[in-house]
Structure 1
Amino acid sequence: MVRTLEEIPAGATHWSKRELAKAVGISPSTVQPIWKAFGLQPWRTEDFTISTDPLLLDKIRDVVGLYLAPPQHAVVFAVDETPQIQALQRTAPVLPMIPGTPQRRSHDYRRHGTIDLFTALNTATGRVITTLSARHRAIDFRDFLDHLDQSVAQPDDPDLTIHVICDNLSAHKAPPVQRWLLDHPRVTLHFTPTYSSWLNLVERWFAELQRRCLDRGVFCSLEDLTIALQEWITLWNQDAHPFRWTKTTEQIIDHICRYCSRISGPAH
């Protein structure tokens, strides 16, 4: 255990069970159960980013509060854009799945352009409002907010307000957006902490889009990609479901604190 956690083998970045078994003088079949018992997987690694946002706690409370206890007479949207979705065409025909063999496709492809997708996920219903754009500038985001505002009718509730959760992209705070917000007081932007895209529920919807529509899609033109995106979005909205947020602010902060305590060793 000590050697696994505190040492690395010469000429390598991490232990394999055979290398460690040889160094310790035991059988490789003995190493694996020990690693499993203590939850060690030296061959795995995960990426992380530390948020340096000075308003980290305030922003977490603000966003999580909108998920767990949204205001009355209000609709909450999680908003973000997916830039440069590529229209990729495989250089050879995709071979269909047959019994015993999965679908096969060539590793190389041809590019036929890109398109940006602006998405607003209604956190209560799971339905999305989208716009396809050639770019994702501040004026494009402003135009999307205008489209979102017009899509949320309020004939039965004149006091209905719109709360928009988005990230800290500079385009979201640019002067054209600020001027638009002054002219549309019922719309309020709420920003997630820096490097905290996991806090935006629309990212969960983007994962579904990527997995179900884009990863295995073959698009011979930008038009094909556009049609595929529009069709998938339409089908989603016909049977939409919300993504349920369960963690409270205190649970999130406690989790961060516990992890920091675990990885913080004694001072030297």
Structure 2
Amino acid sequence: MRSPRGSPPRRPGSRSACRRRPARDGSGVRPKRTYIVGLYTDPPENATVVCADELGPVIPRTFPPTPGWSGDGHRIKAPLNYSRGPEKTWVYGAIRVRDGQAVTLTASSRNSLYYQRFLEMPEQANPVGDIHVITDNLSSHNSKSTREWLLDHPRIKHAFIPVGACWLNLQEPWWRLFRREALAGQSFADPNEIDHATRQATACAARKVIAAGQAACLYSLMKPPRIRERSSLRVSRSSIAAGCCWTLGW
């Protein structure tokens, strides 16, 4: 078996060979990838396209006290705490492709119940037309409970990205902006502080997008300040996402 680019032959049963096999219809077109790109470039009429994903877990931990001295002239010591505790917080996020506006929700678990509760947020924010949700293949996104819930919410339609193609989900670069605003250099004592930081960062991101005037500038806010040669794979995927943004005229 030979690679399309003329590289040395691969073993037919190898993993790399399986990744490049053509579509079932023999056309060489990836149907899932083509469908998602079509939602970006030519969305259905009167429909809203959103990208959704989860971030986390964000785990609060106990930090040592401020360095100081005791009354008898000894340094105050604190026992080292290697554990991070049982409290975990997941952040659900969705960005609307049309204008770059985002919604977030914090949850104590990543399961079908919280995912369904999260889907109600873009549904309420977009009361008219169908809602196409581009997301990954997490089990809670396609569980029996979620499928039954979707029967009562027919406007919401899922578009699952192919395995290994997370760069097709524009929520992924939005998380970079979120981490800088909400998590970088912060210390959280409990989930309530994480929820507060999430709300503040989401509002800050919305103000930046509005100030930019176009959602195309959303990518310029999220891209790293400089491009490193060592991360050529990540740069190429980011360039594809940027090209998609500018093609859409966001």
Normalised to the residue count of structure 1, the TM-score between the two structures is 0.60
TM-aligned CA deviation for residue 150 of structure 1: 2.1
**Separation of aligned partners in 2, 1:199 and 1:53:** 19
Question: Is 1:132 paired with 2:132?
Answer: no
TM-aligned CA deviation for residue 80 of structure 1: 0.7
Match of 1:221 among 170, 190, 207: 190
**Separation of aligned partners in 2, 1:53 and 1:189:** 25
1:72 aligns with 45
Q: Closer, same or farther in 2 for the Cα pair 1:179/1:199, shift >3 Å?
A: same
2:55 aligns with 82
2:34 aligns with 61
2:130 aligns with 161
1:20 aligns with none
Q: Closer, same or farther in 2 for the Cα pair 1:239/1:211, shift >3 Å?
A: closer
Question: Is 1:150 paired with 2:124?
Answer: yes
Indicate conservation of the 8 Å contact 1:166/1:191, yes or no: yes
Q: How does 1:3-22 map to 2 (within 5 A)?
A: none
Q: Closer, same or farther in 2 for the Cα pair 1:63/1:247, shift >3 Å?
A: farther
CA RMSD of aligned residues (A): 2.9
2:204 aligns with 235
TM-aligned CA deviation for residue 185 of structure 1: 1.8
Q: Closer, same or farther in 2 for the Cα pair 1:192/1:218, shift >3 Å?
A: same
TM-aligned CA deviation for residue 181 of structure 1: 1.8
**Separation of aligned partners in 1, 2:93 and 2:21:** 25
Tell me the amino acid that sits aligned with residue 124 of structure 2: Q
Normalised to the residue count of structure 2, the TM-score between the two structures is 0.64
TM-aligned CA deviation for residue 221 of structure 1: 2.5
**Separation of aligned partners in 2, 1:246 and 1:116:** 27
Structure 1: stretches of 5+ with no match in the other structure: 1-47, 95-107, 155-159, 249-268
TM-aligned CA deviation for residue 153 of structure 1: 2.2
**Separation of aligned partners in 2, 1:153 and 1:91:** 48
1:259 aligns with none
Indicate conservation of the 8 Å contact 1:91/1:110, yes or no: no
Question: Is 1:178 paired with 2:147?
Answer: yes
Indicate conservation of the 8 Å contact 2:52/2:134, yes or no: yes
Tell me the amino acid that sits aligned with residue 129 of structure 1: V
**Separation of aligned partners in 2, 1:73 and 1:201:** 21
Indicate conservation of the 8 Å contact 1:51/1:193, yes or no: no
Structure 2: stretches of 5+ with no match in the other structure: 1-15, 24-28, 68-80, 220-240, 245-250
Match of 1:204 among 149, 173, 178: 173
**Separation of aligned partners in 2, 1:198 and 1:70:** 19
Task: Indicate the SS of the match to 1:111.
Answer: coil
Indicate conservation of the 8 Å contact 1:76/1:124, yes or no: yes
Task: Indicate the SS of the match to 1:150.
Answer: helix
Indicate conservation of the 8 Å contact 1:138/1:177, yes or no: yes
Cα deviation code 1:122-146 (max 9, x no counterpart): 1121111121111111122122112
Q: Count matched residues.
A: 183
**Separation of aligned partners in 2, 1:136 and 1:227:** 19
Highest CA radius of gyration, 1 or 2?
1
Tell me the amino acid that sits aligned with residue 72 of structure 1: E
Match of 1:141 among 91, 104, 115: 115
Cα deviation code 1:34-78 (max 9, x no counterpart): xxxxxxxxxxxxxx9x95898781111111111122222111100
**Separation of aligned partners in 2, 1:135 and 1:53:** 37
**Separation of aligned partners in 1, 2:61 and 2:190:** 8
Task: Indicate the SS of the match to 1:239.
Answer: helix
Question: Is 1:121 paired with 2:95?
Answer: yes
